[in-house]
Structure 1
Amino acid sequence: MSETKSLGVALIGTGFMGKCHAMAWRNVATAFGGVPPRLEVLADTPMEKARTAAQAYGFARGTDNWREAVTDPAVDVVSITTPNGMHREMAEAALAAGKHVWLEKPMALTVADAESMAHAARASGRVTILGYNYTRSPAFRAAAELIRQGVIGRPIHFRGMYDEDYMADPNLPWSWRLTREGGGLGALGDLGCHLVSVMIALMGDVARVYAQMDTVISDRPHGSATARVENEDQAQALIRFASGASGEFSCSRVARGYRCRLFWEVQGTEGTLRFDQENMNELWLYQPGAPETDGFRRILTGPAQPGFAAFCPAPGHNFGFNEQKVVEAEALRRAIEGVTPAWPDFSAGLGIERIIHGMAQSAMSGQAVTF
């Protein structure tokens, strides 16, 4: 039975992604219609920060106790945007309290944690969704549909990279993100998981990976001394998909000059699709013998692509990063209402975790890892 009441929302965390979630919840009904959610409680520390953010973000109240937020009877769904090491405890507590969960990636620090979370989600019967927002853009959704329709024939090869340079400066200070206990995997956990979400959505299940990874900057300033970087700065892998198609995978947090180069290409027997997140409103399609050109054709996103018209009726008025999060909020809302299943939920997220941790295992052992 679908739920049509206004959803009560709790938000934990007010950083970059916390603000994105808040804006998404505030705009989901404006873009897609329906009953607007009720922004009930925002949790962060210290209390003054929570209260200030709650007022700015439009929440009814703030608290410095996240457990109070997830057990509040007025709350139906919890957005979790905290550091990686807190994900399992918070998500499982919210599920145990009967709440739906919108959790930012990566899902967990370890595969064991992800397995526990997926089990908790199944046992609860609640809806879960993970913040893989790059699968929400009109260009990506159009590409997935073109592949489904067979426009490029049978996909035979995937080439993907996600490069940023936010850790390229060796003078940047050490932080929790650089530890196994606090951050888990490095470039794979922060960036590579996004690329995996894209890869499996376009190409299907992964059968085997053979990987390598490196910590390029081994020590970073920490107070008056230095501290060891425990996770990887970059990783690469060769992929074999269950379909038999091949793939190349690369991610880096130390790639000078790149801010958000989530680039992917799908080569098929009858054509090729390619995309770059730094130019996220352009999808490029090659079809041999196309009458207008024998080169790649630019498809500029507009109302013809999925999700775009909810924000703007005019072509050429670009879609943006935060709009992707609004689409994600709508996907969660529709799943809660029983209209369409949520993807990726915690079960699918467990699959993503197995792939990135499989890459790390392969890099450490020097052997391929099969799934």
Structure 2
Amino acid sequence: MTKELAAKELGIGIIGTGFMGKAHAFAYRVALAAFPDIPVPRLEMIADVNEASAAKAAHQYGFARASGDWRALVNDPRVDVVSITTPNTLHKEMALAAIAAGKHVHCEKPLSPSLADSLEMVEAAEKKGVSTQVGFNYIKNPLLKQARDMIAAGELGEITGFRGIHAEDYMHDPDSPYSWRIDPVGGPGVIADLGSHIIGMARFLLGPIADVSADMRTVVKSRPVSRGAKERKGVLVDDVARILVNFGRGCGGTIEANWVATGRKMQLGFEISGDKGSLVFTQERLNELLFYRAGGDAKTNGYVKIESGPQHPPYGEFCIAGGHQLGFNDLKTIEMGEFLRAIGQGKTSTPDFREAYEIQKVVDAAIASSKTRSWVVVG
């Protein structure tokens, strides 16, 4: 290996071996194959509180080493990039330690349980000059970029409305046990867990949200303390959040987050209306974007399906044929590829810690609105 090539390597460390840890590992392994212009991601270390799980993951995903101590990973001189895929309450401590050690940091959303903690993380990263990214990978879909370009080009005309939703059903069973996900110590419930995705998507497409009026409800009032236990613990976080929003650009809209939507596995989508047309998207059919152009012949006019293909970069880096489709892990690979490229070029990658903080400001405004039953200005 030449010194020039070695200089383009980045040692990767992942904290956590669960669902998102696995997704990060897949993405780092594949990123170079899709994006040959990025620094070489060297799979250096993976850590988990369960050392056996870490060792198993290191073998399975091809990491050089494993550890039962995340601090060892953060402080290891061969690790340049730290991916944090742990529960929310651990994000701040891990991220600040990694930043202090001069590492670039990818953190899953939400950034932290509180807005103040998130701002501390943002300021630490910006002061240290490290690159950051937060796991809003759904906006990495080439068709979402296509939608944003169409809006910016005026193809929908003046935007008149936005309807967004992120609904799943993984918490609909009242006998599913109490967990970190619904512990208020980790922050709010569905509005942070799912709502942050659709809020981030709304901002990606239409820009900042100016003010909100929200209604947040707890549907399942208690849950077993463990699977099958008779003892139950009261639930204090939201299961459903419905928000009226006004965008800084002047249009209004609605946003819903719901993790008790029986039958829904991934209803992350939107409808954007303008005076010249509209766009419709759902993650359940993530390779399709529907476009309606106003003013056509009423007998034949309707939504046209835009199907993802090589004409929508970076789809072609994965497959040269249209209609063959991208998937969730491909979106994660695009996310990691863009992050590593930004690090290599000394540029900012987005959504970074600052954007995650802006998303969290909307979440906090919605919580305040629901409590006061009034409109609240964001930030």
1:227 maps to 2:233 = yes
2:260 to 254, 276, 286: 254
The equivalent of 2:129 in structure 1 is 125
1:269 maps to 2:275 = yes
Please give the alpha-carbon distance, in whole angstroms, between the structure 2 residues aligned to 1:305 and 1:105. 26
Shift of 1:338: 2.3
The equivalent of 1:209 in structure 2 is 212
The equivalent of 1:31 in structure 2 is 34
8 Å contact kept, 1:142–1:306? no
RMSD of equivalent CA atoms: 1.4
Shift of 1:244: 1.0
8 Å contact kept, 1:163–1:262? yes
Please give the alpha-carbon distance, in whole angstroms, between the structure 2 residues aligned to 1:23 and 1:290. 45
SS state at 2:9 partner: coil
Bigger CA drift: 29-38 or 198-207?
A: 29-38
1:70 to 69, 74, 95: 74
Bigger CA drift: 200-209 or 215-224?
A: 215-224
1:105 maps to 2:112 = no
Please give the alpha-carbon distance, in whole angstroms, between the structure 2 residues aligned to 1:100 and 1:341. 11
2:360 to 353, 359, 371: 353
Residues 278-319 of structure 1 show CA distances to partners (whole Å, capped at 9, x for unaligned) of: 011110000124589411100011111121111000011011
1:319 maps to 2:294 = no
Shift of 1:178: 1.0
Please give the alpha-carbon distance, in whole angstroms, between the structure 1 residues aligned to 2:65 and 2:175. 39
Shift of 1:340: 5.1
1:370 maps to 2:377 = yes
| Structure 1: gaps of 5 or more residues | none
Q: Which residue identity lines up with residue 84 of structure 1 in the other structure?
A: N
| Structure 2: gaps of 5 or more residues | 1-5
8 Å contact kept, 2:8–2:40? no
Please give the alpha-carbon distance, in whole angstroms, between the structure 2 residues aligned to 1:95 and 1:201. 26
Please give the alpha-carbon distance, in whole angstroms, between the structure 1 residues aligned to 2:257 and 2:64. 40
Shift of 1:4: 5.7
1:130-279 equivalence runs, <5 A:
130-181=134-185, 183-222=186-225, 223-279=229-285
Shift of 1:36: 2.6
1:87 to 62, 87, 91: 91
* Residues 285 and 261 of structure 1: CA distance in aligned 2, closer, same or farther (over 3 Å): same
Please give the alpha-carbon distance, in whole angstroms, between the structure 2 residues aligned to 1:84 and 1:369. 25
The equivalent of 1:305 in structure 2 is 312
Residues 35-70 of structure 1 show CA distances to partners (whole Å, capped at 9, x for unaligned) of: 431011100022111111111111001001101101
Please give the alpha-carbon distance, in whole angstroms, between the structure 1 residues aligned to 2:365 and 2:374. 10
- What TM-score do you get using the length of structure 2 for normalisation? 0.95
Please give the alpha-carbon distance, in whole angstroms, between the structure 2 residues aligned to 1:226 and 1:59. 40
Shift of 1:106: 0.8
Please give the alpha-carbon distance, in whole angstroms, between the structure 1 residues aligned to 2:350 and 2:34. 20
The equivalent of 1:60 in structure 2 is 64
Shift of 1:331: 1.1
- What TM-score do you get using the length of structure 1 for normalisation? 0.97
Instruction: State how many pairs are aligned.
Output: 368
Shift of 1:240: 0.7
SS state at 1:168 partner: coil
8 Å contact kept, 1:4–1:337? no
Residues 315-353 of structure 1 show CA distances to partners (whole Å, capped at 9, x for unaligned) of: 110110000000000110121122753111111111001
Please give the alpha-carbon distance, in whole angstroms, between the structure 2 residues aligned to 1:289 and 1:297. 14
1:20 to 20, 23, 46: 23
Please give the alpha-carbon distance, in whole angstroms, between the structure 2 residues aligned to 1:198 and 1:78. 25
The equivalent of 2:3 in structure 1 is none
Please give the alpha-carbon distance, in whole angstroms, between the structure 2 residues aligned to 1:296 and 1:361. 38
Structure 1 runs of 4+ with >2 Å offset: 289-293, 338-341
Shift of 1:271: 0.7
Bigger CA drift: 284-293 or 19-28?
A: 284-293
8 Å contact kept, 2:161–2:274? yes
Shift of 1:153: 1.3
Residues 238-273 of structure 1 show CA distances to partners (whole Å, capped at 9, x for unaligned) of: 001111110101110000110000010111121101
2:12 to 9, 13, 17: 9
The equivalent of 1:115 in structure 2 is 119
Please give the alpha-carbon distance, in whole angstroms, between the structure 2 residues aligned to 1:45 and 1:345. 26
Please give the alpha-carbon distance, in whole angstroms, between the structure 1 residues aligned to 2:170 and 2:203. 26
8 Å contact kept, 2:168–2:258? yes
Residues 13-35 of structure 1 show CA distances to partners (whole Å, capped at 9, x for unaligned) of: 01111000000000000011134
8 Å contact kept, 2:8–2:344? no
